[in-house]
């Protein structure tokens, strides 16, 4: 699991996996002996910001890695905890050992660097379009979302009737009933 | 618990029980052999959106059913979990078996229909006035709230000094102290 | 732990401890045989509203009490629970026995008075400036925050590189990654 | 919900409801204006000591009360928490108001009496046979369990294939896999 | 992820991965298009029955699959919940879709078959020796444990100083301090 | 909070505080600039192994420190979590910074030394008698327990009617009701 190249960790929510993620993973994959892809907020699903289950997101990533020919990734679902003093320890206990964390999130970067990890920003690929928020918005409103995400992710969304799910849940969560 | 008519499930927060709820329960009650009334967000109380405890809401419903002569309901408190992939299983484990879910909440409808349940919309009775939000607002601001809710619910609110409670907690929750 | 004077309880988040807190503690300290200082939201840290860990806040309070010569306080971290029907019981189980609760938060006052406690408002000392929100804002934006908090609290913030932490986490929490 | 007679609370696990429970409920029912039947350990099921879900136990009780003609009971599922300093507050928040607690469990009696409740022991009816442990043992080993429980409880067990469930789970829980 | 062969799920604790697991995975791997290996009790570590973290077990499995040339597995950590009415839903939400569950644990088999899954027993390979309990016992007592587990699992144990860890924690857990 | 002497951490359950604890604290207190006394299993009470609340134990320790003239201790309640990969991070987030951990528990020592802390065994003072288990046994059975614990701890136990509590709860916990 080690060698001369480091092991890298990328954490995202992948709601859904989009082409910006693919570019980031591809680049980190070339710099590292292994890339751990952490699926954040793994316990959540069926709400507007987190429509897909962890298992559905796992499928999107796994199948896209195959299709893209990226061979040195492993996938680890990571349930959120909003107790951030424990979060790095939680990530560490769930993942194989890693050396470098790639993130553009300042809080993530701060937490891992307080814990002594090397932290890299990740390159940005057209963040306007390649964002989960934009993909979910287009699905909900009927825009062109397929061009923003890899083919295998789109297939998963179709297999689980994800378009209909996103449109339904934009109507409010169950705990908002009157 | 079965017969030729189905068993129905209605989930609400009943903060507090209002006359719109009564009409909905009465209608479902006539279509079903038994109606399960699930008290959602059961663990919450003493905050602006959820002022009453589950037990207080249980009293409102139980006493109003007696007063209205609706005889085929059972009441089940259901604690919220924001992990919606588990929520239907949780409801199912807490309730007697049911066949049809009545709801106007799109997310609730989606979750139960993904799980294979028959889901019906519920008729709407003057949603402007007959809403928990409106009742709580009138209590907080001193408007006429009694006309919106059944008599027994109003009695419970008086017995627990609920008007004063609602006015107090509109001043912010304990974790917002400076 | 008892005597002719009562035991008082003050609950705050102390994010960070500021001079308004010091004045309140000093006044309550003179009226009580002992003052329990409850550190609320103890489990949270590294987010914009709760940047400091419970231990860091414990240090701020403990060292400031020494420096101010206030000798009859004890400090108790109290993790938040948003289930308020249990909250008073939780506070009671964590603290030595107390008689009077001092608070300006209406919900806190309501909960303790429903549970039969004597509740006092606390005097207000320039709430515009002496507020955690204001101190955190000045740290994030580079204003004069040192004049608002006691010297020992400022030293703790420096020892843990707290200025840099606050500036980092204003960029969003880890579960908001795209 | 009140009158000259008090409101009583009985808490049990009802794994399953047996004839000893029925006798106890009948007696308390005659002494009280209303009896709250709390289903303890409501979240557990599918393990040797707690084979039935809360909903299944709710059905057993509800249908048996109808069959026995006991008309003044309400049923409240209560999830266990092993934090006993909060437990009485939790029960209180879930139930309509009650005056007297009936129990033969010393710890339960102690907790409610520390909280100021009136606590009564409950009469004992052949505890050797009328015990959940004995019923479950007979189901697992193929003895005569039907004679120990009310008819409606037996019907529920048959409807859910409960005999087979109990025999399966005596083989160890899922977290004991090698 | 689909094809003519089904997708299989194997859940184990892998404390540690041993040669019996390898044989089972190899056999299921040949019958399935993909095998999901669920790491159960993922949150536990540093106790006698669960000494290794989920990440350490992930490494053992991932590296052994490479070494054995088994190419159609994915690995999913699954935190235990002792609320078994929700457990199948939790597993389903974390994993890519699966068709068949392989297990020798009767409770696991029951839960998945109540949920409508096809369940297979798994072949047994010298269960006396190839058991986690036996491996941990030998590590603690200084016997020959290396012959019971695959080479890559032994390497992981050495890299994390696992022998010393197991010997230490056999002395009691932190919450048993006097 | 620092100086030339280190800051020490002692974690115990203090059920109840006994004379062995006092001797240990006195010795560590003389070696350290400050001693943090962590009250472990802080959330538990009213069960045979953990009869006293965290607040009651806080009182025992605080009052005994005063009586013994030990002036450099601070007290921090620490709720148990059985997820040991997070436990050291949790302790660290709750306590002021510390340098050395004093413990005779092998698992505690292992966890803190894996996290890079200096760990010392603590001297043993007649462990046969000076143990919480022995004190609780004597209270339950009516032996001489007062001679094993400091005077102020005995006073707290009397003030809360602790003898009667311990005798009551030896009769079984609430979730064991039949």
Query: Which fold does the domain C7-170 belong to in CATH?
Result: Rossmann fold (3.40.50)
Q: Is the pLDDT of residue E175 over 70?
A: no
Span C66-76, pLDDT tens digits: 999 999 999 99
Is the Cβ pair F106, E176 closer than 8 Å?
no
pLDDT at E174: 58
Give the pLDDT mean for E153-171. 93
What's the mean pLDDT when you consider all of chain A? Answer: 92
Give the pLDDT mean for D51-64. 98
Helix A151-159 and helix A162-169, axial crossing angle in degrees, nearest 10:
70
Is the Cβ pair D1, B62 closer than 8 Å?
yes
F121 — contact with chain E (CB < 8 Å)? no
Asked if A68 and A22 count as a contact pair (C-beta separation under 8 A), the reply is yes
What residues of D are in contact with residue B59 (Cβ under 8 Å)?
1, 96-97
Give the pLDDT mean for C38-52. 96
ipTM: 0.93
Q: What is the largest CA-CA distance in chain C?
A: 59
F85 — contact with chain E (CB < 8 Å)? yes
| Helix count and strand count (H, E) for chain A | 7, 5
pLDDT at B172: 59
In the structure, do chain F and chain D come into contact, i.e. share 3 or more CB pairs under 8 Å?
Answer: yes
Q: How far apart are the first and last CA of chain D?
A: 53
CA dist list (Å): A15 to A11, A49, A77, A174, B116? 12, 8, 13, 20, 25
Give the pLDDT mean for A23-31. 95
C-alpha angle with apex A29: A26 to A31, nearest 5 degrees?
A: 115
Quick one: tokens of E92?
Answer: 């389903």
Give the pLDDT mean for F85-91. 96
What's the mean pLDDT when you consider all of chain C? Answer: 92
Q: Is the pLDDT of residue E4 over 80?
A: yes
- Looking at residue B104, the DSSP 8-state letter turns out to be S
Q: Which of C44, C164, C171 sits opposite A83 (nearest CB)?
A: C44
Question: Among D90, D177, B91, D73, which Cα is nearest to E18's?
Answer: D177
Q: How many CB atoms lie within 10 A of CB C175?
A: 20
> Higher pLDDT residue, E178 or D11?
D11
CA dist list (Å): C13 to B177, C138, C145, E126? 7, 18, 17, 58
Omega of the bond leading into D16 within 30 degrees of 0 (cis)? yes
Chain B residue whose CA is closest to E87: B86
What is the H or E stretch that residue D60 is in?
helix D54-68
pLDDT at A59: 98
In this prediction, residue D2 has a pLDDT band, given cuts at 50, 70 and 90, of: very low
Give the pLDDT mean for C101-129. 86
Q: Can you tell me the distance from the alpha carbon of D42 to that of A122, in angstroms, rounded to the nearest whole number? A: 47
CATH 3.40.50.300 for domain A7-169: no
Asked if C96 and C34 count as a contact pair (C-beta separation under 8 A), the reply is yes
Q: Can you tell me the distance from the alpha carbon of E78 to that of D16, in angstroms, rounded to the nearest whole number? A: 31
CB pairs under 8 A between E and F: 66
pLDDT at E2: 47
Chain D residue whose CA is closest to E44: D175
Domain boundaries, chain D: 7-166
What residues of D are in contact with residue F178 (Cβ under 8 Å)?
12-13, 20, 127, 131-133
- Neighbours of E (≥3 Cβ pairs closer than 8 A)? A, B, D, F
pLDDT at C107: 84
Is the Cβ pair F97, C62 closer than 8 Å?
no
Helix A162-169 and helix A132-141, axial crossing angle in degrees, nearest 10:
90
Is the Cβ pair B95, D55 closer than 8 Å?
yes
E11 strand-pairing partners = E38
What is the arrangement of strands in the sheet containing A34-39, beginning at the earlier edge strand? A73-77, A34-39, A7-12, A100-102, A118-120
F112 strand-pairing partners = none
For residue C81, the distance in angstroms to the closest alpha carbon of chain A comes to 13
What's the mean pLDDT when you consider all of chain F? Answer: 92
A143 — contact with chain E (CB < 8 Å)? no
Q: Can you tell me the distance from the alpha carbon of F13 to that of E124, in angstroms, rounded to the nearest whole number? A: 44
Span A116-148, pLDDT tens digits: 999 998 766 677 788 999 999 999 999 999 999
- Looking at residue A120, the DSSP 8-state letter turns out to be E
Q: Is the pLDDT of residue A35 over 60?
A: yes
CA dist list (Å): A25 to A17, A50, A70? 11, 21, 9
Q: How many CB atoms lie within 10 A of CB C167?
A: 16
Chain F residue whose CA is closest to C57: F96
Q: Is the pLDDT of residue E86 over 90?
A: yes
CATH of domain E7-166: 3.40.50.620
In this prediction, residue E129 has a pLDDT band, given cuts at 50, 70 and 90, of: confident
Q: Is the pLDDT of residue E6 over 50?
A: yes
pLDDT at F177: 57
Is the Cβ pair E107, D173 closer than 8 Å?
yes
F104 — contact with chain D (CB < 8 Å)? no
Give the pLDDT mean for F149-174. 90
Give the pLDDT mean for F44-48. 95
Is the Cβ pair E106, D176 closer than 8 Å?
no
Question: Among E123, E107, E110, E29, which Cα is nearest to E75's?
Answer: E29
For residue A53, the distance in angstroms to the closest alpha carbon of chain B comes to 7
For chain C, how many residues are written?
Answer: 178
For chain E, how many residues are written?
Answer: 178
Span D103-113, pLDDT tens digits: 888 888 999 99
Q: Can you tell me the distance from the alpha carbon of C65 to that of C70, in angstroms, rounded to the nearest whole number? A: 5
In this prediction, residue F107 has a pLDDT band, given cuts at 50, 70 and 90, of: confident
Helix F162-169 and helix F132-141, axial crossing angle in degrees, nearest 10:
90
Q: Is the pLDDT of residue C53 over 60?
A: yes
pLDDT at C90: 97
> Higher pLDDT residue, A174 or B141?
B141
Quick one: tokens of E132?
Answer: 């986690």
Give the pLDDT mean for E58-86. 96
Checking DSSP bridges between strand B34-39 and strand B73-77, what pairing results, if any?
parallel
F80 — contact with chain E (CB < 8 Å)? yes
Q: Is the pLDDT of residue F125 over 80?
A: no
pLDDT at D5: 96
What residues of D are in contact with residue C93 (Cβ under 8 Å)?
85-86
Which sign does the torsion angle of CA F166, F172, F175, F177 carry?
negative
Give the pLDDT mean for C113-137. 86
Q: Is the pLDDT of residue F1 over 50?
A: no
Checking DSSP bridges between strand F7-12 and strand D73-77, what pairing results, if any?
unpaired
Span B60-78, pLDDT tens digits: 999 999 999 999 999 999 9
Q: Which of A54, A58, A76 sits opposite E58 (nearest CB)?
A: A76
Question: Among A31, A33, A26, A51, which Cα is nearest to A41's?
Answer: A51
Is the Cβ pair E168, F110 closer than 8 Å?
yes
């Amino acid at each position: 699991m080690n060698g001369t190249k480091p092991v890298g960790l990328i954490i995202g929510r992948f709601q859904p996996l989009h082409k910006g993620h693919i570019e980031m993973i591809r680049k980190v994959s070339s710099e590292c002996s292994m890339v751990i892809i952490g699926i954040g907020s793994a316990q959540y699903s069926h709400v507007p910001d987190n429509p897909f289950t962890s298992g559905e997101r796992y499928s999107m990533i796994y199948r896209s890695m195959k299709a893209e020919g990226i061979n040195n990734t492993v996938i680890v679902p990571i349930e959120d905890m909003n107790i951030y003093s424990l979060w790095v320890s939680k990530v560490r206990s769930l993942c194989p050992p890693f050396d470098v964390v790639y993130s553009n999130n300042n809080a993530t970067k701060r937490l891992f660097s307080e814990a002594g990890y090397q932290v890299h920003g990740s390159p940005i690929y057209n963040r306007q379009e390649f964002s989960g928020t934009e993909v979910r918005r287009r699905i909900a409103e009927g825009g062109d979302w397929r061009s923003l995400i890899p083919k295998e992710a789109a297939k998963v969304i179709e297999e689980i009737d994800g378009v209909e799910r996103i449109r339904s849940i934009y109507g409010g969560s169950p705990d908002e009933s009157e």
